[in-house]
Chains A and B, each alone.
Chain A
Amino acid sequence: MKEYTIIAVLFAVLSLILDIILNTKLIRDKRFWIFWSVMFVIICFVNGYLTWRPVVVYGDVFYLGIKLFTIPIEDFLFGFSLLTSNIVIWEYFSNRNDKFQNQNVKSTQKSNSK
């Protein structure tokens, strides 16, 4: 069974769901997709090297066998879900900090007006 394929798709979807749950709105952010077009090129080099040597060897029965250069397409979903979850959490805490700071500003404004 194509277990790697199934898990990779599942994780990619979960990382996008995380974006929706935490309300980080990256899916609709143009910069997020600019980031991914940059990362795509970098991943091709880094993962390309690792799979070309090969440092990592894949079990034939567990993935589709479709490759870009020497990289199984599942690897792109692996990278996507990893970095997307990193950025979602990163932005989630950024939003929280902003809100926290805004609240502080409001409370100081209130205390000033008193």
Chain B
Amino acid sequence: MKFEYFLVLAVCIAGPLAFSFSKKLGFYKDTKRLVLSILLPMIIFIAWDVAATYRGHWSFNKEYISGLYIFNLPVEEILFFVVIPFAGLFTWEVVKYFSGQKK
């Protein structure tokens, strides 16, 4: 199924996105900080991904991707670098919330 990779990403972001507006976490408050934290690594990791795909370190199964490409990467792979960091940062805030703000 062509949209399988996309669906995996949708499942990953659904929970974090739904709960990111929780006032207790305040995750939504600082958009600029969120954008920078996702965007800066994204640039470097997409460069890694483009080079690695070019070299043949890995490739993407055409059965499970939409067929749209950006920089020779499936559009899903580009979205990966937004979805996974967003879900990760959300999880980090949840861990901090439940283990107390103190170190």
List of B residues within 8 angstroms of A90 by Cβ? 33-34, 37, 89, 92
User: In the complex the two chains form, is B84's CB within 8 Å of A89's CB?
Assistant: no
The bracket for how many chain B residues form the interface is: 35 or more
CB A100 to nearest CB in B, in angstroms, measures 12
Nearest CB in chain A to that of B85: its residue: A86
Asked whether A42 lies within 8 Å of B91 as measured between CB atoms, the reply is: yes
Residue B33 contacts which of A11, A56, A94 (CB distance < 8 angstroms)? A94
CA distance A35 to B103 in the complex (A): 13
Contact B92 A35 (CB under 8 A): yes
Main secondary structure of the interface of A (DSSP, over half): helix
Q: Which residue of B lies closest to A57 (CB)?
A: B59
Contact A86 B56 (CB under 8 A): no
Contact, CB under 8 Å: A34 / B95:
yes
Please state if A89 and B41 are interface contacts (CB–CB under 8 Å): yes
Q: How many positions in chain A have a CB within 8 Å of any CB in the partner chain?
A: 37
Q: In the complex the two chains form, is A11's CB within 8 Å of B48's CB?
A: yes
Which residue of the partner chain, among B52, B81, B95, contacts A38 with CB atoms under 8 Å?
Answer: B95
CA distance A86 to B31 in the complex (A): 14
Which A residues, 70 to 93, have Cβ-Cβ distances below 8 Å to chain B? 79, 82-83, 85-87, 89-90, 93
* Docked-complex contact A55 and B92, CB < 8 angstroms: no
Quick one: given A29-B103, A31-B99, A89-B37, are A53 and B92 in contact (CB under 8 Å)?
no
Q: Contact at A62–B99, with CB atoms within 8 Å?
A: no
Residue of B nearest to A94 (CB): B33
